[in-house]
Structure formats: structure tokens, C-alpha cells
Chains A and B, each alone.
Chain A
Amino acid sequence: MNVTKIKVGMASCGIAAGAAPVFKALSDKFGGKVEKTGCIGMCYREPIVEVLGDDGSSVIYGDINEKRTAELIAIIENEEVRKEWAVFIKGAPEFEQSLYNSKQVKIVMRNLGRINPESLDEYIAAGGWEALKKTLAGTPENLIEDMIRSGLRGRGGAGFPTGLKWKFARASDSDKKYLICNADEGDPGAFMDRSVLEGDPHSVLEGMAIAGFAIGSDTGFIYVRAEYPLAIKRLEIAVSQARNAGYLGKNIFGKGFDFNIELKKGAGAFVCGEETALMRSIEGNRGMPTLKPPFPAQSGLWRKPTNINNVETFANVPWIVLNGWEKYAAIGTEKSKGTKVFALTGKIKNTGTVEVPMGITLREVIFDIGGGIRNDKKFKAVQIGGPSGGCIPASLLDVPVDYDSLNRTGAIMGSGGMVVMDENTCMVDVARFFLNFVVEESCGKCTFCRLGNKRMLEILTRITEGKGKESDIEELEKLAGQVRNGSLCGLGQTAPNPVLTSIKYFRDEYIAHIKEKKCPSHVCKSLLSFTIDAGKCTGCTLCARNCPVKAVEGEVKKPHLIEQAKCIKCGKCYDVCRFDAVIKD
């Protein structure tokens, strides 16, 4: 076997884990055989290096830090395989049939970790830009019809049928129409779009060009958040490559179709992910949402008909065109077709991005693919859909992942962030955290979003500080309804979801905070008390020496005592005690 290629995962996750020096050391040794690639999804094993041989073999190694590089070079030179380091070996059943791999279906992530995102040739070799060529040989009407039949729904969160959206935009009569790719991924816990942009930018450009043909637009914008410098850099490279090669520009494939794409950077405003706010931001204004209707398909960017789709939606499009709508529609459930990419974070073993067929259960995603809870703690809840979503409890783990089933739980599909929480997480604290995010990010236009959320945050803060009143839950529910009904855009309308779902499924935790002044998960500091078990205390004085406020009293070799009036509940004594003598309650 001769090594033909060595690929180093160089997405943000890989680089942050130290892939750059690994890439350099391997390049110094093996020269042009070494290439950059995107993230295959196993962020928890970065830096990741794949070694490919001329016999078709492929071994993917994980945790290749600087120290292991020298050893890896020796392994490659000796044509060996180091099984203990491998995260995947082609042909080996223990990897190919593992739950992690066998339960995933990769459509959006088809090229991630396989091609060099900065190489047009590699995208083309993977079938890239073929879908646009095929599209331009047909008619926009047939394309839209196929897209409707594929069942693809918007992956930005709301799940509106993509083909239908295109149909409305096509039907709008105007001298100018715009196409926008929403790459302003801002939900805490979501990074699927970043992965796609960093790992396979051309697929998004191709999806946009196809959509441009469908609706009759010659101008596309990608609005990408400024927090993603690597994604921006790779998009810039891809756009310029596509222009030079004639995939973007005038008379594409000689079919008389003109289409160009321009990048627009955000500047740190979450609300710009809302489509009307996003359009105002592109126009050079404050990114504040405007009333719908009129919908963008009638009056959008500069009041012209505009079609907006999300990164993941566009990345699906070339695959559907090439493989046919039937193949796509065969995956998923009756009303949710295809796959969905999720970002797994929080207290889960396998953090990273995964792509699963719609209809898979939450349990399969979190336990079979995600590997379960870190440190084998108990699962408590999964927060889906970011600040617009909700917390789903263990009793609903068998809910299938599709738009309608998730809606019924009170959460939403959202953009695809899954923040997994273990038994040590306080749900009131989590609700407060997400609400705090919304309060910070509300643009301030609607009174209920601006003030209602703030009032709710005050109540939640009060509850976590042990000052909650019995009427607080009712008050929260009342305010939640008003914020939902009194807000113009999706941010405000969905802001109460984390609070409402946590009340719905974890009401007893709220009651414990309010009535018993206790935080069952021992998270809310004000509700904690630290005491010393005299039977276990050996009088080693470690806690007394570490207490920052000198609240621990006692003589050497005699049981100590914590003076409650002085204690600031920092937990230092609890952390340092070697005899489990400090009781946290």
C-alpha cells in the first residue's frame, strides 16, 4: 500500500484543538500529499487526520496532537495501522457498523472531511456544479415542482416548504429579484452552518445558483456573521473560484443564465438572523425586524421580491437535483423529509455535528450516536432550538425528531442545536440563562419583547435567589403569553419557550425553589447551605485554610464548623475536603 493522501481536519474545531502544527509537520514530511479538509463531525476527537492508500484504504485517526505527530509520521512511513488511535477504518465492521456511523445519513455533510474546502477541483471531482448544469438544461417550473415533491423544508428553524417558497418568489412579478442565504447562525449551541461553510462552501453557492434560476434572480447575497472569520475566508475563496471558472457570472454553462453572489458580514446582532431584520442590515440599516406581511417573496430586500433560505437548506439542493426528489423523499417521515444536521453539545460524550434521517428518536441521537451522558451521569433534559426552543425531559426521549412531533412537545426543531443537560443542571437556572440571552439580544422595537422578557427575567432571578413568590409561576405564564402575542418577529414570539417548557416538564423544581427555598440540583448559590458532618471531619484544617472569608472555625484535629452568617457559599470547602465531610444542601 502506498499512501496517496493525508487529510487534516482544519475547521475551527480542529484548528482550536491544535491541527495547524500537525498540518505543518505532516506537510514538511509528506509535501503535497497533505491536504486541509473540513470537519467530519467528530469534534470531540480533534485534531483528526485521515490516511488514504492507493489500495482504497482509509484510516481516520483522532486526538492527533503535536506530541503524537512524530509517531504518526513513523506509522505512515512504515505503512502500519494504529488501531487504538483510529476513529474509523474503512472496511472494518466494528467501525462501519458502529451505532455512531450506521445511524447517520450524510447528505448535507456529504463532502465534509472528504474534500479540501479551498479546492474547486476537489468539489468538482465529488460531482460539484453538476447539479447546476443539470438544472439549467431544464425549466424553473419543473425544478420547483421537484423541490416541492422532495418535501424539503426550511432548515433555519421554521420548516416552511422550500419549493413552495420558491414558487411564491417566482410568481412575484418584478424587474429585479434577490436571493439571500441566511448564514447568520446565532443560536447558542448551534454550529452546523459554520461546519458546512468551513467544510464545503461550494455546495452552498451551487444551491444558491439553482435557487436563483428557480425564482428568476441574478443577484444573491450571503449574510454571514462576523464571528465566523474562517467561514468568511473560505466563502470568499469559493466565490472567487466559482466566478473565475464561470459557475457564477454571466451566461453560465452557455445557457443565458446570469447569477452573482456577494458576501455581507454581520456585526454581532443576533436578531439579524430574523429574515426581515437581516434584509434591513444588508441595506445598511439597524437590523430591526419589520412587519410581515408583506412577505419577502412579495416585498423584501429594497422592496423587491426576495427569497431567503438557510445554509443547510441550500446545501441539500444540489444533492436533490442530482439524486432525484424521490430518493430524498424516501428518507424521513410523512411530513418531514430528508435529514437534519444537529450540533451536539453540553454534557454529552460525543460533541460535534451529526446528520440523521428525520424521524429518528431523540434517544437514538443522544445515546446511540452521541454516546450518552458524560461521566455516565443521569440524563435530565435536552434543550433544542436555542432560545426559541424548549427543554425536553427524559420521559419524552422516544419522541421522533421531526417538525411536527417536536412542536407538540412545546420545543421546536429550530436550527439544530442540542444542548444536553445532566442531573446536575438546574432547569430554572437554564430558563433564566436563555431568557437573559433574549433580553440582551432583543432589538427593543416591541414593548412586550423589550419589557416583558425583562420582567420575566427578574422573576426568574428572584426565584433562583430564594425570593420567589407563590404567584410567580402564574405570573410567568401570563407574561409569556403576552410576549408571544405582542411581539413582531420570531425572536420575541418564541422567547418564552424555554421558560414555558421548563415549567411544563420541571414544575417541581420551580416549586422547590419557591416554597422550600431549595435548588434540587444544588446549582443556585443563594439556596445552598454548607455544613460540616462532625462524624466525618478529621480536623485537617484544609477547609479553614481555603475559606476566603474565614467562615470555618475549629481547632486542629477537632471537628470544624461553618459560621452561616459569614459563609458566601463559594463551595471552596466542599471542593477541597478529602473526607466528604462538607455537606452541600
Chain B
Amino acid sequence: MISEILKKYEPKKENLLSILHDVQESSGKNYVSTESVLEIGKFLGMTRSEINGVMTFYTMLSEEPRGKYIIRICVSAPCHVAGSVSVKEELKKVLGIDVGETTGDGLFTLEESACLGVCDIAPAMMVGKDVYGGLDGHKIKKIISEYRSRK
């Protein structure tokens, strides 16, 4: 699968972030495995530690397996004044996990985002690539159960 992704790119270091994004997205578990890192390294002529250094710098890239859907709850100031704290608590309750953890069924990982840039609909979160705003406890339950039934 990785070789398919690498075919799309020239073996240049500038493509590292794009490759990492693609590999992470296609992993099904939102992460880049050590084997993948080694293979990308071979392709780009970079060492494992070089790639690791880049990966750990960016919050959206992970070396550990995560859920199928990453939930990013926005904790910026506009969301904060709109009540993101209680939204986060509700999410934790509905999912039964803490920030940084993954649900037992492997569906969701809960993360915080410094700002999603959708302050107009604060408090907001992203599930995968979808944006949800104007959140409250009721909405959260509805959204999560929708994703659960999607499986």
C-alpha cells in the first residue's frame, strides 16, 4: 500500500509531509507505523531519526495507532468563551475516554486543537474532515451516535 503512495511522489525531501499525510490517512488507524517510516526513509534517503524529528514536531501526525475518526475539539479563546469546556467534558463522558485516548472499539480518538478556524460557529469540533459547530450536550450525543452507527 505504501509503495502505491510513494509512486505518486518524486523522491525529494520536500514531499515528506505530504507522504506522511497520505500514509497516515490510508492506514485506517490514523498513524504512521515504524515499518512505514523505514520505507519512507529508504525512498527519500532520510534516516528514521530525521523523519521522527519531523513527525514529532507536527501535532497532527502520530506514530501510535489511533481511532478511525480523530475528534479534534477546539480549545481556542473564542470556543472557550462559547463554552468549549463543558462540551469537552460531555465528549469525554459520551466516549468514555480522556483527551489523547482511543475508544475500545477503535473508532474514536479524542484530541484538542489550538484553533480550528471556525470561530463563527464556536464551540466547534472536527470529526475526521467534517466540521461541527454550535455544540452542546444534545448535539454531541447525536453526532457520536451517527458515527457509531456508520461503522
Which chain A residues have a beta carbon within 8 Å of chain B's beta carbons?
12-13, 15-17, 43-44, 46, 185-191, 194, 225-230, 264-270, 281-288, 343, 345-347, 351-353, 383, 417, 419, 421, 425, 430, 433-434, 437, 440-441, 443
Query: For the complex, what is the distance from the CA of A433 to the CA of B85, rounded to whole Å?
Result: 13
Which residues of the partner chain B approach A227 to less than 8 Å between Cβ atoms?
Answer: 72, 113, 115-117, 126
Contact A13-B120, Cβ < 8 Å, known A188-B115, A265-B21, A347-B81? yes
Complex: chain A residue closest to B117, CB-CB: A191
Contact B117–A287 (Cβ < 8 Å): no
Contact B77–A188 (Cβ < 8 Å): yes
Contact A433–B80 (Cβ < 8 Å): yes
Does B60 have its Cβ within 8 Å of any Cβ on chain A? yes
Select the residue from B119, B121, B122 with max chain A CB neighbours within 10 A.
Answer: B119
Of the candidates B16, B114, B119, B126, which one forms a contact with A345 in the assembled complex, judged by CB atoms under 8 Å apart? B119
Query: Can you give 18 contacting A-B residue pairs, CB < 8 Å?
Result: A16-B124, A43-B120, A185-B117, A227-B113, A227-B117, A227-B126, A264-B18, A268-B113, A284-B16, A285-B13, A286-B57, A287-B58, A346-B81, A419-B81, A419-B119, A430-B77, A434-B77, A437-B114
The 7 A-B residue pairs whose C-beta atoms are closest, nearest first, are A188-B76, A267-B58, A43-B120, A268-B60, A268-B59, A284-B13, A284-B16
Contact B14–A284 (Cβ < 8 Å): yes
Query: For the complex, what is the distance from the CA of A346 to the CA of B20, rounded to whole Å?
Result: 35
Query: For the complex, what is the distance from the CA of A347 to the CA of B57, rounded to whole Å?
Result: 34
B107 to chain A, nearest CB (A): 19
Contact A283–B14 (Cβ < 8 Å): yes
Number of interface residues of B (CB under 8 A): 41
Which residues of the partner chain A approach B132 to less than 8 Å between Cβ atoms?
Answer: 16
Contact A43–B121 (Cβ < 8 Å): yes
Apart from A228-B117, A286-B53, 15 more pairs, CB < 8 Å: A15-B131, A188-B114, A188-B115, A189-B119, A191-B119, A191-B120, A227-B117, A267-B17, A267-B59, A268-B113, A269-B58, A269-B59, A282-B14, A421-B81, A434-B77
Query: For the complex, what is the distance from the CA of A185 to the CA of B129, rounded to whole Å?
Result: 17
Contact A16–B133 (Cβ < 8 Å): yes
Digit string of B102-146 for contact with A (CB within 8 Å is 1, else 0)?
000000000001111111111010100101111000000000000
Complex: chain B residue closest to A286, CB-CB: B57
Does B38 have its Cβ within 8 Å of any Cβ on chain A? no
Of the candidates B17, B53, B61, which one forms a contact with A264 in the assembled complex, judged by CB atoms under 8 Å apart? B17
A64 to chain B, nearest CB (A): 15
Contact A425–B81 (Cβ < 8 Å): yes
Query: For the complex, what is the distance from the CA of A228 to the CA of B12, rounded to whole Å?
Result: 25
Which residues of the partner chain B approach A46 to less than 8 Å between Cβ atoms?
Answer: 121
Which residues of the partner chain A approach B129 to less than 8 Å between Cβ atoms?
Answer: 229
Does B78 have its Cβ within 8 Å of any Cβ on chain A? yes
Does B15 have its Cβ within 8 Å of any Cβ on chain A? yes
Of the candidates A16, A283, A433, which one forms a contact with B121 in the assembled complex, judged by CB atoms under 8 Å apart? A16
Which residues of the partner chain A approach B57 to less than 8 Å between Cβ atoms?
Answer: 269, 286-288, 443
Query: For the complex, what is the distance from the CA of A189 to the CA of B53, rounded to whole Å?
Result: 30
Query: For the complex, what is the distance from the CA of A185 to the CA of B117, rounded to whole Å?
Result: 8
Which residues of the partner chain A approach B80 to less than 8 Å between Cβ atoms?
Answer: 433
Contact A343–B120 (Cβ < 8 Å): yes
Query: For the complex, what is the distance from the CA of A275 to the CA of B13, rounded to whole Å?
Result: 19
Query: For the complex, what is the distance from the CA of A190 to the CA of B16, rounded to whole Å?
Result: 28
Contact B114–A270 (Cβ < 8 Å): yes
A49 to chain B, nearest CB (A): 17
B104 to chain A, nearest CB (A): 26
| Residues of B73-112 whose CB lies within 8 A of A | 76-78, 80-82
Contact B134–A17 (Cβ < 8 Å): yes
Does B5 have its Cβ within 8 Å of any Cβ on chain A? no
Contact B17–A265 (Cβ < 8 Å): yes
Query: For the complex, what is the distance from the CA of A294 to the CA of B62, rounded to whole Å?
Result: 34
Which chain B residues have a beta carbon within 8 Å of chain A's beta carbons?
12-18, 20-21, 44, 53-54, 57-61, 72, 76-78, 80-82, 113-122, 124, 126, 129, 131-134
Which residues of the partner chain A approach B12 to less than 8 Å between Cβ atoms?
Answer: 284
Complex: chain A residue closest to B13, CB-CB: A284
Query: For the complex, what is the distance from the CA of A194 to the CA of B121, rounded to whole Å?
Result: 14
Select the residue from A13, A230, A282, A421 with max chain B CB neighbours within 10 A.
Answer: A13
Of the candidates B114, B117, B120, which one forms a contact with A440 in the assembled complex, judged by CB atoms under 8 Å apart? B114
Which residues of the partner chain A approach B78 to less than 8 Å between Cβ atoms?
Answer: 188-189, 345-346, 419
Contact A12–B131 (Cβ < 8 Å): yes
Contact A433–B131 (Cβ < 8 Å): no
Complex: chain B residue closest to A221, CB-CB: B14
A262 to chain B, nearest CB (A): 9
Contact B18–A265 (Cβ < 8 Å): yes
Complex: chain B residue closest to A353, CB-CB: B120
Which residues of the partner chain B approach A186 to less than 8 Å between Cβ atoms?
Answer: 114-115, 117
Query: For the complex, what is the distance from the CA of A451 to the CA of B54, rounded to whole Å?
Result: 22
Query: For the complex, what is the distance from the CA of A266 to the CA of B16, rounded to whole Å?
Result: 11
Query: For the complex, what is the distance from the CA of A265 to the CA of B54, rounded to whole Å?
Result: 14
Of the candidates A43, A267, A353, which one forms a contact with B20 in the assembled complex, judged by CB atoms under 8 Å apart? A267
Contact A284-B54, Cβ < 8 Å, known A226-B60, A265-B18? yes
Complex: chain B residue closest to A186, CB-CB: B115
Query: For the complex, what is the distance from the CA of A392 to the CA of B129, rounded to whole Å?
Result: 35
A233 to chain B, nearest CB (A): 9
Which residues of the partner chain B approach A188 to less than 8 Å between Cβ atoms?
Answer: 76-78, 114-115, 119
B126 to chain A, nearest CB (A): 7
Contact A268-B58, Cβ < 8 Å, known A189-B77, A433-B80, A437-B114? yes
Which residues of the partner chain B approach A281 to less than 8 Å between Cβ atoms?
Answer: 17
Which residues of the partner chain A approach B118 to less than 8 Å between Cβ atoms?
Answer: 12-13, 16, 191, 194
A473 to chain B, nearest CB (A): 22
Which residues of the partner chain B approach A230 to less than 8 Å between Cβ atoms?
Answer: 131
Query: For the complex, what is the distance from the CA of A254 to the CA of B113, rounded to whole Å?
Result: 46
B96 to chain A, nearest CB (A): 19
Which residues of the partner chain B approach A17 to less than 8 Å between Cβ atoms?
Answer: 121, 133-134
Complex: chain A residue closest to B125, CB-CB: A16
Complex: chain B residue closest to A421, CB-CB: B81
A59 to chain B, nearest CB (A): 23
Which residues of the partner chain B approach A191 to less than 8 Å between Cβ atoms?
Answer: 117-120
A438 to chain B, nearest CB (A): 10
Complex: chain B residue closest to A436, CB-CB: B75
A567 to chain B, nearest CB (A): 19
Which residues of the partner chain B approach A187 to less than 8 Å between Cβ atoms?
Answer: 115
